[in-house]
Amino acid sequence: MLASTSAAANRLVLPLLVPLLLIGYLMTSFPYPPSQPIIYTSLSSLPRSCSSWTVYPEDFYPGGAYVTLPYGRVRYWMIGPENGTKVIFIHGLSIPAIIWKDVAPVLASRGYRVLLYDLYGRGYSDAPKMIYDVSLYTTQLALLMQHINWNSAHIIGLSMGGAIAAAFSVQFPQLVNDKVALIASAGVVESSDISRTAKIMSSPIVQTISSLPPFRHYMRRLANASSISEGGPIDPIQQIIRLQSAHLPYFNAAVASSLRDGPIRGQEYAFKALGNSTQQVLLIHGTADQTVPYKYASKIQGLVPHLELMTIEGCGHDLTITHASEVSYLLLRFLSSNNKSTADGQAVLI
């Protein structure tokens, strides 16, 4: 009788023992020490024979230098007179600072001190293996400004760089002078306007497959073959995207994370805060923009009622390339204006 009672008790206790031990282990275990994030190299690591050095050389702009920040080296350039009014250019999702090639030198020639740099994971800046959220980008710029001893500057952002500029103005208002210019700005894009291809390519499983050596070898061969087979002048903008995708081991992952986790979406709070600030804001947008559709210009204007919206009729997303003279003119006019309250409404450029 006693034996049967003991056996019955064991049958009741043993099933409870394993979960109790597991719970006890989970409650008393301690995580491993934090490790240093993996840092992937930039275009600077490629051999000089790579066509990237022809399309987008390290000294593309004068006054270039590197600074080592907590998440890797950052490449930056400072052009224009040293005593000029300080202006910072922030590029977008996939094209590094080369995108400003026809705009930044114009401002520098008109007396502005211009800072250009490559965002993490693009161009000549290293790529940390981490989530590419808005705080990564705003902190990168704040630390870069600290390094070059800039207390404040006017901010100009293109596409995703516009969203970074808005968030930076909110997170670090003391580092921003009284003017913020947004060009074809992202930040409030709806998921439905991101193409299915982009969503698939930025998915974790596709990123895992694309990082495998056979796939990367294929991409390098494809990029090299396209650069050789193209007849006539090479489009440096499209070529630099192909080169980064093929040769930089974390470029695709950085772009994918920026789409999923970064400032492409969800920055309504930043624009709303910018709308409640005293900052002068300019927004330039093209009516034929298919990457960040023109409807988002109105949405941003609703969040920043006092901004000045300048519309370029028939212009697409790459307006700093296709309409560089118009963009340069609008920026110079905006930066040189002493008017503290910009006009509401829009102006159409033909």
Q: Is the pLDDT score of 229 beyond 70? A: no
Beta bridge partners of 68: 73
- pLDDT at position 11 is 61
Tokens of 217: 């070898």
* Contacts of the segment 189-197: beta carbons below 8 A, 24+ positions apart: 189/264, 189/265, 189/292, 189/296, 190/265, 191/265, 193/293, 194/259, 194/264
Q: Is 44 helix (H, G, I), strand (E, B) or coil?
A: helix
Stated pTM of the model: 0.87
What is the C-alpha separation between 110 and 220, in angstroms, rounded?
41
Q: What share of the chain is helix, strand, coil (3-state, %, to 5)?
A: 45, 15, 35
Tokens of 8: 């019955």
Q: Is the pLDDT score of 164 beyond 70? A: yes
- For the chain, how big is the Rg over CA atoms in Å? 25
Q: Where are the beta strands (DSSP E) in the chain?
A: 39-40, 64-69, 72-79, 86-90, 113-117, 127-128, 153-158, 176-183, 280-286, 308-312, 346-349
- pLDDT at position 301 is 97
State the helix-helix crossing angle for 268-275 and 160-171, rounded to 10 degrees: 60
- pLDDT at position 292 is 97
Q: Are 281 and 182 in contact (CB under 8 A)?
A: yes
pLDDT single digits (tens) 165-175: 999 999 999 99
- pLDDT at position 218 is 54
**Better pLDDT: 29 or 118:** 118
Is residue 231 very low, low, confident or very high in pLDDT (cuts 50, 70, 90)? low
Mean predicted confidence (pLDDT) in 335-340: 78
Q: Is the pLDDT score of 249 beyond 60? A: yes
- pLDDT at position 194 is 85
Is residue 217 very low, low, confident or very high in pLDDT (cuts 50, 70, 90)? low
DSSP 254-297: HHHHHHHHSTTS--HHHHHHHHTSS-EEEEEEETT-TTTTTHHH
Mean predicted confidence (pLDDT) in 276-299: 97
Tokens of 220: 């390098």
Q: Is 78 helix (H, G, I), strand (E, B) or coil?
A: strand
Mean predicted confidence (pLDDT) in 224-252: 77
What is the C-alpha separation between 247 and 231, in angstroms, rounded?
22
Highest mean pLDDT among 52-61, 134-143, 242-251: 134-143
Q: Are 264 and 187 in contact (CB under 8 A)?
A: yes
What is the C-alpha separation between 283 and 298, in angstroms, rounded?
10
